Structure 1
Amino acid sequence: MQELDLLRNITLGQYLPTGSVIHRLDPRAKLLCATILLVAITANASYLGHGLLLLVLAAILALARIPLGYALRGVLPALPFLVILAVIQLLFFGRSLDPASPVLWEYGFVVITQATVQAIAVSFLRLVELILLASTVTFTTAVTELAHGLEGLLRPLRPLRVPAHELALIVTIALRFVPTFAQELERIMKAQVSRGADFGSGGRFNFVRRTVSMLPLLVPLFTIALERAEELALAMEARGYVGGQDRSALIELRATARDGAAVALSLMVALVVLLVPFPF
């Protein structure tokens, strides 16, 4: 059943080595570009601005040789959250967003205004762009490179007692275990289905029933997560892992002009999105 194929829709944490020019960028430059675009995505509230950001993300995926359809699969697991958020905005926001906004439809206490519709559309576009952005970073950056890049960006904060290496390790391990836990959840669900459980019937948009039916899976999933964490800790200890600022690195990152150009282009896109007064 396709409803049980969770891993096919989990794009975050997947690395696709296509050898593109995006893959060859310095991981610090990729993280800086992602941070700049993240600010533009969260601060922009216009349709045209989000359209421009979607075109930029599609162009980055094309340069990285990543199929856009595959990247968009990561949006599917977030659809229930989007629907719930849209219903809450429609039912309770009303005229609170903008009292002067034209009313499109009104029935009882439910008031749908143009500002409400725009807020729902912008929220959807933001989430899609954030998923595409985060997936693009993991598509084009191996876990080791991501750890080195994040540690390199946090290294100037060491005089402030910021544990750069430990934070970088935590983030990269968390990203790495996203597809692993999705695979484990898929395995548990298939085992339960073979014993008569029902997770896929009732329609694709029957979120309440599917959510309630998946609650019993949390206990075995958390048990597996704790076991995996313990195995990882034992493996790191057995290999003599030592964190901290005295730890040396086998890979020395070196930025090039290509990396600077990528950061500059990202900054230009962000400035255009944030400073240009789009009509809508």
Structure 2
Amino acid sequence: MSQSNTSVPAIRYRGAGVTYAGGVKALKGIDLDIPAGQFVVIVGSSGAGKSTLMRSVNGLIPLTEGTLEIAGQPMPDKPGRALRRLRADIGMVFQDFRLVKRLSVLDNVLIGRLAHVPTWRTITGLWPKAEVEIALEALERVGIVDKAYVKASQLSGGQQQRVGIARALAQRPKIILADEPVASLDPVTSHQVMQDLLRINRELGITTIVNLHFLDLARRYGQRIIGLRHGEMVYDGGGETVTDDQFREIYGRPPGDDDFLGGVA
């Protein structure tokens, strides 16, 4: 699904902040526009606010200050139909995959269609043919359609993450959020997953936001890098041009070996 109105940002923050119970400020004064179709990587040390920023996009973590608009529409300030409708347009890819291991790969991907079919069909497993075709197409895009009828428990970690991407893709989303999607994967598989996300972004024009810890991946794949430190945005620039000194400013220290994935040229 291509983005149609590129004049309105897919995501717009103004003066956005999140303060948790106990007074911990996870985000402070975020002013940020993300154009439709952009591939954005967010970096920062643990506790910098990366996950808070990402999870505010689909309303999992509400702002306590400022405003957030998705495609020009204000983020709903309470649960309900408007928030459910917004979330139907936002796919999520998780670090720990979040698959139902006893179900087949196809059934896991069909979970991405829950917002589009009556509840009785999901309970009975009587999915319309058109929905199954959408799920199979999503699996084909990540190269594992041949695993459609295999139980998710039988897949490798990299294959499970591809199922997670296919599930998000099956939503036909306008935005994909990927929260540390390669944290538990080996270097070769990490690059494959990042390449899948980037290719989907380029082919379908889906706005994509990826939280990453590894700086070499951020530099290689980030069309745009947002750097967070102590809840504040301290860097906004291109992945190809970010320097080690700028990474030092983002992290508040020199980058160490653990900040780089390595292993693949």
* TM-score normalised per structure 1: 0.28
* TM-score normalised per structure 2: 0.29
With a CA cutoff of 8 Å and minimum separation of 6, indicate the structure with the bigger relative contact order: 1
Larger Rg computed on CA atoms: 1
Give the structure with the larger helix fraction.
1
Give the structure with the larger strand fraction.
2
